[in-house]
């Protein structure tokens, strides 16, 4: 008989398998809060991250608290989308409330449900939150009975939310929860079921036209850990606000028209890092693109050009980060535009993506100027090979120079004079005086060159200057 800590490990493994099998179904059910066909992808990535962290833990095989804590931390780190953040906070509630002297499945579910509901700024009926509440109120420790009850509740409450009623489907996040509860029952009973669908499942994704009330999905981490205060702060700036946190940081998901304003608002009092931005109004595309950059201005510029943008701060971009971003683009072919330090992780990410029948091609960029040049010619309606050729050609011949002070001698006057085009990507250290001074220096030596300026906001620099 496996120990309770071993059951957690087995549950994570079974949950990852079942979620992977049902990604397409969950994506098809995804009509709320935005029909962007990614709930299955988000839940899989969140739970897979929880599994990785639990497998890497160093506590004893029978240490249930250590297993719960590692699982919750992994889910927090890997949480994607509304449903992923809600599940992560549910797992965090179970871990943080654990009392070795008195615990049961029913008490863990109560704490999970409480935290999940608190993670959402504006809870809606008929969703994963209602299902969690109902199974928690069962006061049952029978995993199969809990899973079956969740299935009934999900179907019964389908019509409470107008979007679900109109589409005739159950909540995708709630369906994902049923899959995880089925996985738990399987492990506890030593069987393997396939978690049959709940209600009607459309034959295709809800729509190619994502009817979002905001333009962008923004996910980031912040050192602010007061969830209620954070939600109040963010309320005027967007919708679909969900948060999950531990004692060190909070992960935030928000749909907004102004990602830069959101981040600037949070940065007044807290540190912000690991920023991911993507459009909620995707264009028709044959190929997706994921690009790396630092600075919210650069990230927003990339997103407006039709790519998924990701950044790092406290760690290098990893295999998991790249896999998540590529899968979230929802394309069978993806181009990854990365910097040299990411190449090692890119190889393993490409291998991982093959498991999902996604092919990925890497273009290595030497600087943000080269990345912006490559993305400026990216054509989502074309194919990978043609895009690669045009993007590499756009990067060819660009020299980049980092400007950290008012000493501009790194920009050789003769090289400036011979440049056909000059791109200045302003950093967060560039005030009006610094901008005026650098503009004057460049114009003094490059009177006939095309001159482009971008507010990139990359940290600790006045500018990065690209000459071509």
> In whole angstroms, what is the distance from residue 181 CA to residue 402 CA?
52
Weakest-pLDDT range from 81-90, 185-194, 338-347: 338-347
Number of domains in the chain: 3
Both 30 and 80 in one domain: the answer is: yes
Cβ contact 253:239 at 8 Å: no
Confidence of residue 320 (pLDDT cuts 50, 70, 90): confident
Cβ contact 428:398 at 8 Å: no
Query: Is 289 a domain residue?
Result: yes
Both 456 and 361 in one domain: the answer is: no
Q: Indicate left, alpha or beta for 460 from its phi (over 0: left) and psi (-120 to 50: alpha).
A: left
More confident residue, 315 or 91: 91
Q: What is the pLDDT of residue 160?
A: 94
Q: What is the pLDDT of residue 408?
A: 87
> In whole angstroms, what is the distance from residue 362 CA to residue 89 CA?
34
- Give mean pLDDT, residues 43-68: 94
Cβ contact 123:174 at 8 Å: no
Confidence of residue 283 (pLDDT cuts 50, 70, 90): low
Q: What are the residues whose beta carbons fall under 8 Å from the beta carbon of 169, sequence distance 6 or more? A: 29, 31, 158, 199, 200, 201, 202
Both 70 and 12 in one domain: the answer is: yes
Render pLDDT for 30-39 as a digit per residue (tens, 0 to 9).
988 888 888 9
Residue ending a domain, among 134, 162, 189, is: 189
Q: State yes or no: pLDDT of 15 exceeds 70.
A: yes
Query: Is 205 a domain residue?
Result: no
Give me the sign of the Cα torsion angle 88, 94, 97, 101: negative
> In whole angstroms, what is the distance from residue 360 CA to residue 205 CA?
23
Cβ contact 185:235 at 8 Å: no
Both 406 and 340 in one domain: the answer is: no
Both 110 and 184 in one domain: the answer is: yes
Q: Which long-range contacts (CB under 8 A, 24 or more apart) does 374-379 make?
A: 374/291, 374/337, 375/289, 375/291, 375/302, 375/305, 375/307, 375/337, 376/305, 378/289, 378/305, 378/306, 378/307, 378/335
Domain of residue 312, residue span: 283-396
Both 62 and 157 in one domain: the answer is: yes
Both 361 and 433 in one domain: the answer is: no
Pair type for strands 216-222 and 250-256? antiparallel
Residue 207 dihedral angles phi and psi, to the nearest 5° = -170, 150
**CATH classification of the domain holding 313:** 3.40.50.510
Both 440 and 382 in one domain: the answer is: no
Q: State yes or no: pLDDT of 147 exceeds 70.
A: yes
Query: Is 146 a domain residue?
Result: yes
Query: Is 45 a domain residue?
Result: yes
Q: What is the pLDDT of residue 208?
A: 46
**CATH classification of the domain holding 117:** 1.25.40.340
Confidence of residue 203 (pLDDT cuts 50, 70, 90): confident
From the centroid of its chain, how far is CA 307?
A: 14
Q: State yes or no: pLDDT of 209 exceeds 80.
A: no
Both 377 and 448 in one domain: the answer is: no
Weakest-pLDDT range from 105-109, 112-116, 190-194: 190-194
CA atoms within 13 A on the CB side of 122: 11
Q: Considering the entire predicted model, what is its pTM?
A: 0.85
Partners of 452 in the β-ladder: 423
């Amino acid at each position: 008989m496996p120990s309770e800590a071993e059951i957690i490990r087995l549950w994570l493994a079974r949950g990852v398998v079942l979620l992977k099998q049902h990604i397409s179904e969950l994506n098809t059910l995804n009509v709320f809060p935005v029909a962007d066909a990614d709930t299955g992808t988000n839940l899989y990535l969140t739970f897979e991250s929880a599994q990785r962290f639990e497998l890497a833990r160093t506590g004893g095989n029978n240490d249930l608290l250590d297993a719960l804590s590692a699982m919750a931390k992994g889910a927090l780190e890997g949480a994607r989308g509304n449903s992923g953040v809600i599940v992560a906070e549910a797992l965090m509630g179970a871990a943080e409330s654990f009392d070795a002297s008195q615990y049961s499945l029913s008490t863990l579910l109560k704490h999970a449900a409480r935290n999940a509901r608190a993670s959402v700024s504006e809870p809606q009926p008929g969703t994963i939150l209602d299902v969690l509440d109902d199974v928690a109120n069962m006061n049952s420790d029978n995993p199969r009975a809990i899973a079956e009850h969740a299935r009934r509740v999900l179907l019964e409450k389908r019509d409470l939310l107008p979007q679900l009623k109109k589409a005739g489907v159950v909540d995708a996040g709630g369906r994902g929860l049923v899959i995880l509860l089925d996985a738990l029952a399987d492990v506890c009973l030593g069987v393997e079921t396939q978690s049959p669908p709940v209600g009607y499942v459309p034959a295709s994704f809800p729509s190619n036209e994502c009817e979002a009330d905001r333009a962008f999905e923004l996910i980031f981490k912040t050192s602010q850990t007061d969830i209620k205060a954070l939600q109040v702060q963010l309320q005027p700036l967007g919708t679909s606000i969900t948060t999950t946190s531990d004692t060190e940081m909070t992960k935030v998901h928000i749909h907004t028209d102004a990602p830069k304003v959101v981040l600037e608002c949070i940065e007044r009092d807290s540190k912000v890092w690991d920023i991911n931005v993507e459009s909620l109004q995707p264009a028709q595309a044959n190929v997706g693109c994921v690009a790396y950059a630092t600075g919210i201005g650069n990230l927003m510029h990339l997103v407006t050009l039709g790519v998924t943008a990701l950044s790092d701060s406290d760690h290098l971009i990893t295999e998991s980060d790249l896999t998540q971003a590529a899968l979230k683009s929802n394309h069978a072919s993806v181009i990854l535009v990365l910097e040299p330090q990411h190449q090692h992780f890119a190889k393993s990410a490409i291998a991982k993506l093959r498991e999902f029948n996604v092919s990925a091609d890497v273009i290595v960029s030497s600087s943000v100027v080269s990345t912006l040049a490559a993305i400026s010619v990216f054509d989502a309606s074309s194919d990978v090979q043609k895009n690669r050729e045009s993007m590499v050609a756009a990067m060819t011949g660009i020299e980049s120079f980092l400007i950290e002070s008012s000493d501009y001698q790194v920009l050789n006057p003769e090289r400036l004079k011979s440049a056909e085009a000059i791109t200045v990507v302003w950093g967060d250290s560039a005030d009006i005086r610094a901008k005026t001074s650098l503009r004057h220096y460049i114009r003094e030596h490059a009177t006939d060159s095309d001159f482009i300026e971008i507010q990139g906001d990359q940290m600790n620099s006045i500018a990065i200057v690209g000459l071509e």
